Amino acid sequence: MKIVAKIGSSSLTTAAGDIDHAAVAKLCAEVAELRRDGHHVVVVTSAAISAGLGPLGYTPDNRPKEAGLLRAAAAVGQIALMATYKGHLASNGLTAGQVLLAPTDLWHRNRYLKSRGTLEALLAQGVVPVINENDAVADDEIRFGDNDRLAALVAHLIDADCLVLLTDTAGVFTSDPRQDANASLIEEIVEIDPLLEAAAGGPGSTSGRGGMASKLAAAKIAAWSGVETTIAQSDRPKVLREAVEGVAGVGTVFRPRTQRLPARKLWIAFALPPAGRVVVDDGARKALEEDRRSLLSAGVVEALGSFRAEEAVELVDQAGEVFAKGLVRWSSQDIAAHAGRRICDLPDELADEVVHRDDLVILP
């Protein structure tokens, strides 16, 4: 079984912002236990920035806001963080392999395949890949946003069986347990609906970028990949094993969809950032959703934003609801000039389809 275990900054650092060695040691011991049973485990870790703040003279209470300083903290903290993982994995007889990923590693097909090949080679050699976003050189406009989403994309990348999101809460509750003493744990979620997403709270601490909303988004990505996801409390004894074995009450379990997206369409849906939007009329939306047709120019109303051909765009109806995503074959300038026209009225150099059905994903 292939398992992706993601652990957040709040679970890996002390109140002072230092690396919590006991927490890393616990995680590494549980990874080693699963490895001895023949499972392959990939760790997605946060806390590089948090670990680098102290050496630069900052604390969690006076965390800098300047992007350059945060990138510098990531560069310093990454060394300490990986050294900690290396030491604790080695004490359990395992070798750690650092992998730093940027969004472009998953957006460009060639780099996507190479990233997958690297992880598969590490796992085949018995190495435990320890992955983090490459925060030291991250572009403020182009980033994963949080490691929950990164973990879900990694789970898809390696065709994982199980994704475990370890955090400082026991899972998803009926309401925010920080504000409602009567909140109860939801042990199983079959479908993530808008009401559940709206009820998700923000980050539970100042050290992380995520929160329950980002974990729900990650669970949705994983579900479309056919990967079961568990959100569980990181300090729970044997939490990884219990999540993998499906022990009742270990946390909140999200069941995968029975029909998973093909790899290419999942990549389009969740790994590529939208460069803009294409507004379509009601007839086009019906043809796309119900008949699985390609998007033709006759059904296009307008383009929102500036984009080139072959970039990813969201498709929205005239009420502004996003219902699909795809790789567009026309630029925004082409759409502005030719939206609403029939194929026979188009210039020869333009593709017949604005978005071909093979490059189109209908979103839930």
List, for residues 299-316, the tens digit of each pLDDT value.
Answer: 999 999 999 999 999 999
**CA-based torsion, 9, 14, 17, 21: positive or negative:** negative
Contacts of residue 356, defined as CB under 8 A and 6 or more positions apart, other chains included, come to 294, 326, 327, 329
pLDDT the model gives residue 245: 94
Lowest-confidence segment of 15-29, 39-53, 100-114, 221-235 by average pLDDT: 100-114
| pLDDT confidence tier of residue 266, bands split at 50, 70 and 90 | confident
Residues 69, 63: Cα–Cα separation, whole Å: 10
pLDDT above 60 for 96:
yes
What integer pLDDT is reported at residue 155 of this predicted model?
Answer: 93
> Measured between alpha carbons, how far is 79 from 84 in angstroms, rounded to an integer?
9
117-143 pLDDT, tens digit per residue, is 999 999 999 999 999 988 887 765 445
User: In this predicted structure, what is the pLDDT of residue 142?
Assistant: 44
For the cut 60, the answer to whether the pLDDT of residue 89 exceeds it is yes
DSSP strand pairing (312-316 vs 322-327) = antiparallel
pLDDT at 173: 86
Is pLDDT at 201 greater than 90 in this prediction?
A: no
Averaged pLDDT, 185-210: 65
- Which part of the chain is CATH 2.30.130.10? 274-362
Q: How far is it, in rounded angstroms, from Cα 80 to Cα 61?
A: 21
The three-class DSSP label of residue 317 is coil
Please report, rounded to a whole number, the percentage of residues in the chain having pLDDT higher than 90: 62
Sequence-distant (6+) residues with CB within 8 A of 361 are: 261, 265, 266, 268, 269, 324, 325, 326
- Which part of the chain is CATH 3.40.1160.10? 2-260
Question: What pTM did the predictor assign?
Answer: 0.82
Residue bearing the bigger pLDDT, 55 or 145: 55
Q: Which CATH class is domain 2-260?
A: alpha beta
Residue 204 pLDDT > 80? no
Give the residue with greater pLDDT, 144 vs 364.
Answer: 364
pLDDT at 252 over 80: yes
Q: Class assignment of domain 274-362?
A: mainly beta
What pLDDT is stored for residue 141 in this prediction?
Answer: 45
Task: Place 197 in a pLDDT band, splitting at 50, 70 and 90.
Answer: low
- The radius of gyration of the chain's CA atoms, rounded to the nearest angstrom, is 22
Q: For residue 321, what are its two tokens?
A: 């609801």
Mean pLDDT over the full length of the chain: 89
- Across residues 26-33, what is the average pLDDT? 98
pLDDT at residue 327, as a whole number: 95
In the predicted structure, residue 260 carries a pLDDT above the cut 70? yes
Greater confidence (234 vs 272) lies with 234
> What Å distances lie between residue 221 and 69, 151, 267, CA to CA?
31, 10, 10
